[in-house]
A and B are shown apart, each in its own frame.
Chain A
Amino acid sequence: MSAVDAAAAITLAALLLYGIFGGADFGGGVWDQLASGPRRDAQRDAISSAIGPVWESNHVWLIFAVVALFTCFPPAFAEIGTRLNAPLTLALFGIVLRGAAFVFRNYASDSPLLARTWTAVFGASSLLAPFFLGDAAGALATGRFAWTSPFALTAGLFATTVCAQIAAVWLVHETPAGALRDDFRKRAIRATVAVWIAGIVPAAIAKAAEPQLAAALSGSTARIAIAIAVVLGVVVMASVAMRRDVLARVAVGAEAVAVLCGWFGAQAPSIIPNSYTYTSAASSEAMLRAFVVAALCGAALLIPSLAFLFATFKRR
């Protein structure tokens, strides 16, 4: 494996992990916004305690992906920052407001007005962030940074529904059995249907209006990834319905991985279609090597720490 490959693998791995864990956090915010019925407050409490201990570390995957990108592929980072300035700024507003809103509402329980306001901000910004991150990803994939194109906008919608799906499935696993868990079970099933619908639309648009993308999507990598994602979606649906919650939890994570890997794979070796490949955007060999070594050393500290965190709070 060359240094470029290793650096690319680490960068994409960070993005994948952000997609799953950050996505689950965003989805939690989506369900917070959509909390309803007699157990509305209980739903929100369940979301808060599921996200609370882990959201900050989930969020670091994004920072790490950004840093990896500008360290290993600086021209690509510069190009993305310039051409996708608008959607990324909008996503950033969402990311910042939701993080702040989450702690603010947790510590503002003695002022109902403030708590309500920040709960509203938390929900709204949890929709904003994944939408515009998905939109930026879609715009990148078109090869012409068309972030207001129908494809990019529907890709944003798709990303948001996937986040909601991951969160609902994981919340089923994390709430005690009973009416509350059934609330999330219902939501998980609805979200899975929404993911299918929201997934078909951008694919159809790509076929009709984005010839370059349509070509990439008909390649074997994309076809295999889509097929896997669809199968996993069915597994999610079935296992949620049959109360196999651990299986559902794994399957929904794998589904997100399949979608993201499909995207990375379909446009490989391009990091930005029509502009840069991983190789043409790569930093010097010395930098890439230093980065990979740093990442391996860092992982040696990180993995046990993360395992400890999740073992402490996510064991049922």
Chain B
Amino acid sequence: MEHVLAARAQMGTSLAFHIVFAALGVGLPVLVVAAEAFWLRTRRRAYYDLARAWAKGMAILFAVGAVSGTILSFELGLLWPTFMRYAGGIIGLPFSLEGFAFFIEAIFIGLYLYGWDRLGERAHVLCGIPIIVSGAASAGFVTTANAWMNMPAGFRIARGVVVDVRPFDAMLSPPWLVEVVHATLAAYVLTGFGAAAVCAFALLRRPDDERAEQIRAGLRIAMALAVVAIPLQWIAGDVIARFDAEHEPAKFASLEALFHTERVAPVTVGGIVQGDSIRYGVEIPGALSMLVAMNPNAQVTGLDRIPRDDRPPVGVVHASFDAMVGSATLLLLVAVAWLIALRRKRTDGRTLLRAIAISGPLAVVALEAGWFVTEFGRQPWIARGLLRTADAVTPAPGLDVQFTVWSIVYVVLAATCWWLLRRVGRPHGGERRPLRRGTQ
């Protein structure tokens, strides 16, 4: 494999793997704490069992998220030393803050997971709060670093040297807020639909399970998170798309596959990019101009205004964007269906449960595709306008071997996680430590 491609493949695989665990690490504490809080209020055993089962899942997922995050912190230096040589001294602040946030998260995860018998009931549930807060904070800090890569800020270049570094301006580069909100909501969307899907799947397979009450409680809590997060995510997505149209025209033109700068610009859904055009897509005339400027005659910048060497891989970016928006549309429909069913008090319908079961994988698609849009959409730059990805790569040899071995590791980790997670719902399933609390 070509050197730069091997490095990108390794980084991309690491991130695509990590992002799922990281997002669940942000979202799951919300569900676990909610379940435990319901138990403390109602004293119904179903909530306690639910909290314990979800906590086991959280333990496994958080650990894999932590180790895969460690890989990433190393890979910044192992794969992109030239980038870090420039960027480390500019964008290090949010990484440092993320370090602390993650530290707090890890400490309270330890307290929460191992503290069921050691802490008082109230202290235990309160230990969940710092996990929720620092989980969201660490995701936010890391996302500000990504925002900086899209729009480097907080420094000047004089005679080829970085001078006048302003760390806070770098952390708060123009896209920081829109990206942080979008990324954090993505974590809640994934967790809500993901956990709900697991519950729905279990109810479909064994409707008379002795744990049905617990599973239904889980479904309700997870869907509550999902129905709040998904409409907010639609708003955040709209805001970030407008931001991109104005500030990141190359990315925006690529995700919309708009090759020519024009008025009455269309939205193209689907289609195949061939050379400098897109075919077989469904065009909605004027829709893009409407979306960007609320005016069908507004001009939208196309790829013809972007030098050829600075264009992202349009085909991948556009397909990813369609995958993200398409799955998010279905998720919104599932959320609406759930709310209607809730109103009619008929949440056990098999069609609805099937839709919810499918929404889990769809949420993963939305998350990964969204990540693809922002990462492929920034290419060929690692830091836009500042440093090209190809110029940032390490000279160290053997990257294709590393990529292969890491890929095998990820497959093994994912497979083991899957196998273990299928068991967390069982009473005492899998866990070594005996459960001791009074509700047993």
Contact = CB atoms under 8 A, between A and B. Distances in A.
Given A89-B402, A110-B429, A305-B108, A64 B77 contact: no
Contacts of A67: 73, 92, 95-96, 98-99
B77 A107 contact: no
A309 B108 CA distance: 8
Contacts of A60: 66, 99, 102-103, 106
Given A99-B67, A108-B420, A283-B92, A74 B85 contact: yes
Given A62-B70, A71-B88, A313-B118, A81 B394 contact: yes
Nearest to B170: A287
Nearest to A301: B104
Interface string A85-111: 110110011011101101111111110
Given A71-B95, A89-B402, A290-B93, A82 B432 contact: no
Nearest to A52: B114
Contact of B84 (A77, A105, A110, A286): A77
Interface string A34-60: 000000000001001100111011011
Contacts of B119: 312
A57 B429 contact: no
Interface in B71-117: 71, 73-74, 76-79, 81-82, 84-90, 92-93, 95-100, 102-104, 106-111, 113-115
Interface stretch (B56-64, B215-223, B289-297): B56-64
Give the residue among A59, A60, A77 with the most B Cβ atoms within 10 A. A60
A291 B113 CA distance: 31
Contact of B432 (A48, A114, A302): A48
Given A108-B430, A294-B93, A78 B74 contact: no
B110 A309 contact: yes
A99 B96 CA distance: 22
B336 interface: no
Contacts of B85: 74-75, 77-78
A295 interface: yes
B70 A81 contact: no
Given A54-B110, A109-B430, A305 B130 contact: yes
Contacts, number: 226
Nearest to A64: B99
B424 interface: yes
A118 B412 CA distance: 11
Interface string A133-150: 000000000000000000
B280 interface: no
A296 B409 CA distance: 37
A92 B416 contact: no
A68 interface: yes
Contact of B56 (A52, A107, A287): A107
Contacts of A68: 96, 99
B398 interface: yes
A63 interface: yes
A59 B64 CA distance: 13
A178 interface: no
A312 B70 contact: no
B99 A102 contact: no
Interface in B118-177: 118-119, 130, 162-163, 165-168
A110 B165 contact: no
B282 interface: no
Contact of B107 (A64, A72, A306): A306
Contacts of A83: 396
A79 interface: yes
A266 B432 CA distance: 46
Contacts of B62: 56
20 contacts: A48-B432, A59-B66, A60-B103, A60-B106, A63-B102, A70-B95, A72-B89, A74-B89, A81-B79, A81-B81, A85-B78, A92-B78, A95-B70, A107-B432, A284-B89, A284-B165, A286-B165, A295-B100, A308-B111, A312-B111
Interface of B: 56, 59-60, 62-64, 66-71, 73-74, 76-79, 81-82, 84-90, 92-93, 95-100, 102-104, 106-111, 113-115, 118-119, 130, 162-163, 165-168, 394-396, 398, 402, 405, 409, 413, 416, 419-420, 423-424, 429-433
